[in-house]
Each structure stands twice: as structure tokens, then as C-alpha cells.
Amino acid sequence: MRLLKIALAVAGLCAATAFASPAAPRAGAEYNILKTPQQVQVQGQKVEVIEFFMYHCPACYALEPAMLEWVKKQGDNINFRRIHLPLTGENDPEAHMFLTLEAMKLEEQLHAKILTTWHVERKRLKSDADNIDWAVKNGVDKEKFTAAYNSFAVMTRLKNAGRVAAAYEVNSTPTMVVAGRYLTNPTMVDASNPGIPRAQLGAATLQVLDALVAQARGK
């Protein structure tokens, strides 16, 4: 009897895996539903999509070109934004850099340059001095940058960054959250679809995002 129960359990697991698909993702497989849905930044027809990332993250860098194409393809269907996961806590220099550039409305303009610095030039921005030096070398006014860098608004957001990540149940990158309630990432997609070649994992993850955006729009 015990062997029969084990066999049935294994069969059930195999069946669940067989029905998992990036094009038709299942809760608990390719994505999770947040225990506490989070408020979205923009109300209306656009679906909010957040990418939690880190500048130094190789998987984030690898996904970036396909992610940008996906965002462009979605167009007015979505409101896309990024949140930097504070790996080292309240004083994380990468998150500090991101929040400063975001406050100065330079994040989108300089995002690709920072990734190039980390992953192509192999230069690590690991301190306040590194960040300020990089910003100045890339055309940002030093006085304005340091003022924003040390501002109450940026420091408060940096202090709260860990709590924000915890509220979204994010502990790795890249991780995407759709409509403040659906969470997915390449690791989940890979675990639910072990036959997917590594080179196709990014595309499979974006398939899941397609389905989640459509689900959030009620389609």
C-alpha cells in the first residue's frame, strides 16, 4: 500500500510538471501569487510590471536586451519600472546609485552605461566614492549628484528598500512582479520546465510575463 501511495505521488508530480508551460503558466509553478497584493503606481488600463534587479547581477544583464524588446512590444499595455534589490542592506551602494539616478530622472538614460561598466568594463562600483566618480565621468553634475545622493528623500527610500523587497516577497534577481500580485523569475520557469535549454530561458520567462499581463488585463 505504501509503495502504491508513493507511486501515485510521483505520478501526480510528473503530471503537474507535464502540464506546466511558459505559454500557459500555472500558479505555484511558473509564478506565485503574492500573499499580500501590493498597490500599483499607476491606475487604469496599463498593467504595472516591476523588474527587481541588481547592477552586478549577471542574469539581469543577460536578460536586459530581451526585456527591453519585450517592454517595447508591450507598448501602452504596461507601465514598466525597476527596483534595485539592496543586497547589503540599508547602505547598499548599488541601490543608492539607482535611487539617486531615479530621483534625478537619469536612471533610464544611464542604466545601460552602468551595466556596461559592471559587465563589459568589469569595473565595480562598491562605494559612495566610486558612485560619485562614475557619475561625474559620465556627465552628471557633481554638486547636483551629491545633493541628491545625500538627500533625505533618497536616504529614506534606501533605508526602506529592504522592506519594499520583503513586501513583494523578492529575494533574488531578476524577479518580475505583475499588477502587484503575480511574481515570476527565470529560476521558477526553469524549475517548472526542466527541458528548456538555458539559452531559451529568458524567452520562456518573457512568455510567462505575456500570459500574466494578459491575465491581469482580464483577457
pLDDT in tens, 106-139: 999 999 999 999 999 999 999 999 999 999 999 9
Query: Residue 9: inside a domain, yes or no?
Result: no
Residue recorded with cell 562600483? 125
* Residue 133 falls inside a structural domain: yes
Note whether residue 206 is domain-resident.
yes
What pTM, to 2 d.p., does this model score?
0.88
Work out how many domains the chain is built from and give that number.
1
**Strand duo 78-84 + 47-53: pairing:** parallel
Specify the CATH number for the domain of residue 58.
Answer: 3.40.30.10
pLDDT for 21: 79
Round to whole Å and give the CA distance between 215 and 129: 45
Is 201 domain-assigned? yes
Is the pLDDT at 6 greater than 80, yes or no?
Answer: no
In a domain, 26, yes or no: yes
- 6 domain-assigned: no
Structural domain harbouring 36: 21-216
Is residue 62 situated within a structural domain?
A: yes
- Is residue 59 assigned to a domain? yes
Spatial CA neighbour of 53 closest among 151, 195, 150, 186:
186
